[in-house]
Amino acid sequence: MKIPATMSTQHPDNVFNPPWVRGEVIAGEDEIIEAFYAFKELGCEEQMWDWEGKDVDPHVIRKLLTKFPEFFKEKELGREIFVTYRVPNPEVERAERKGVIEALESIPRAYDVAREFYGDRCTPPIFEVILPLTKSAEDVVKLFKYYEKVIIGREAIELGEGFTVRDWVGEFHPKYIKVIPLVEDLESIFKVSEIVRGYVKVSKVKSLRVFIARSDPALNYGLFSAVVLAKVALMKLNKLTEEGITTYPIIGTGSSPFRGHLTPDNLSNFLSEYSGYRTVTVQSALKYDVPLDRSKKVVKALNDELPRRYVKWEADVKLLKSIVIKLANRYREIVEGLAPLINFVAPLIPKRRARKLHVGLYGYSREVNKAKLPRAITFVAVLYSLGLPPEFIGLSGLLRLSEEEFAELESVYKSWKYDLLFASRYASVENLELLLISSLSRKLRVMRALKLLKDDLSYCEENLGIKLGPKRLSERKHLNATNNFLIALLEGTKDAIEYVTEAAKIRGFLG
């Protein structure tokens, strides 16, 4: 099968909305049009259809084929371009766990619709499902087996003597699905080989796609640790080829350096940094906060380059794990302390997607140690709006590394200095100083964390030689917007939200 290089997603990291959106958020029929736009205008080869944490249209295939028949006659779904479900993980998202049943139920119905459209030569339009928060092979096997035993297996159920479900409603296709494990935490990434082996043993597949998260590891462990984990995953997946298992890794990246730094200006660095990944996500900021011609060039470059780029490299896994843990410990100490401030500001970040309301870890909040935090996009948006880019949190943890560890880190994370240089232009030492003397910080009890962050910023300037603050006029405008935002926040005025949007438009992404 063709392995798509670019996966359009529904991540709400955009500040501008596309012209067809009728309100403030992208929802409902907007997402049908968005999928078509990603295929037709941008040239994306795949659309993630996200059942996790949001109301989703289960009739996406029928609506795409009926609304845009000429395009989909030319580009066949399931053969040339793809729709791939992301479903709730029943082990984690307890209140939404039955949503996985609804999603799987819709797959055979989508096949019937596509067969009516394409005829007997029809390829199943949906045959892969992404399982988020995968921690073990058992997680993946349960989803695989449920489809096989319940969705397909009920064909043979007798409704009367000699009369089966198959006789009543017809056969069910496809006969099996492939599950794409989405691995998001440190422990699971280090045992990703075990997860794949366990799934392959049961499913008998000889090749599979494996999705490695980039944003949640950054939220949980910091920028440097997230990049190292992405490379550890790649190395472990590459080694599986020696066992006859072919993997096609997917990396989920956004526009900010903290979330992967996939932008037109950073494309060359990105292709070098994540060489070896076969599919890359194209998130909303890249689709809507960048001029269309530039977005299309990025997508085309990814489509052209990713199939040709294959890097097989070796590294000391134990050394890399030591690096991640040392850096993550410093990062998590500060983030846990900053959590009250981050959560205080989070409601001011504009919403760009219709989401369900969530309570606790199962939905759209995350935990770092004992602190609950918003999801990564809102987290990044909050900190950039305050003039405190998250790329610098825990940075002085580099002092904890041995010379050998620092050398290994530099060999693994090639563009770390460029990423920090980008973020440095949006940092405001003035804002940090203002927060340090504010009554809000004392009330929220974030003073100690702010002082630790100040040490990180000082380390960046004094030890890494990266000067903080704007370099260009647009960045000075961003500085003004973040200054105004903080003042409005401290004064409790309603115009604080306007400054969030103003700053996001300047830097080219919400979060």
Helix (H, G, I), strand (E, B) or coil at 310: coil
Q: What is the CATH number of domain 6-305?
A: 3.20.20.60
Distances (CA, A) of 427 to 41, 138, 300, 420, 453: 35, 44, 32, 10, 12
DSSP at 162: T
HEC readout, 464-486: CCCCCCCCCHHHHHHHHHHHHHH
Distances (CA, A) of 286 to 14, 122, 259, 295: 8, 32, 12, 6
Burial label, 112 (beta-carbon count in 10 A; 0-12, 13-18, 19+): middle
Q: Tokens representing 57? A: 């249209």
Tell me how far apart the alpha carbons of residues 91 and 204 are, in angstroms, rounded to a whole number: 24
Mean pLDDT by 10 residues, the chain (511 residues): 95 94 87 97 98 88 98 97 96 84 96 95 95 97 97 94 93 96 97 98 96 97 98 95 95 98 98 96 98 98 91 84 97 97 96 60 51 94 98 97 96 97 98 98 98 98 97 97 97 92 97 96
Tell me how far apart the alpha carbons of residues 205 and 201 are, in angstroms, rounded to a whole number: 8
The helix or strand, by DSSP H or E, that contains position 320, with its residue range, turns out to be: helix 317-345
Contacts for 450 with CB less than 8 Å, ≥ 6 apart: 338, 432, 435, 436, 441
Domain boundaries, the chain: 6-305, 317-507
Angle at 54 between CA 508 and CA 227, to 5 degrees: 50
The single-letter code of the amino acid at 136 is S
DSSP at 248: E
- According to the model, what pLDDT value does residue 98 have? 87
Q: Tokens representing 171? A: 């056969």
Tell me how far apart the alpha carbons of residues 33 and 3 are, in angstroms, rounded to a whole number: 23
Residue 23 phi, psi dihedral angles, 5° rounding: -130, -155
Q: Tokens representing 95? A: 């209140």
DSSP bridge partners of 405: none
Q: Tokens representing 156? A: 């043979």
Q: In this structure, is the dihedral angle defined by the CA atoms of residues 360, 363, 368 and 371, taken in order, positive or negative?
A: negative
DSSP output for 423-479: HHTT--HHHHHHHHT-HHHHHHT-HHHHHHHHHHHHHHHHHS----S--SHHHHHHH
- According to the model, what pLDDT value does residue 367 have? 63
Distances (CA, A) of 211 to 40, 131, 195, 251, 279: 25, 9, 12, 6, 9
The single-letter code of the amino acid at 199 is Y
Burial label, 15 (beta-carbon count in 10 A; 0-12, 13-18, 19+): buried
Secondary structure tally for the chain: helices H, strands E: 22, 12
Angle at 365 between CA 360 and CA 371, to 5 degrees: 80
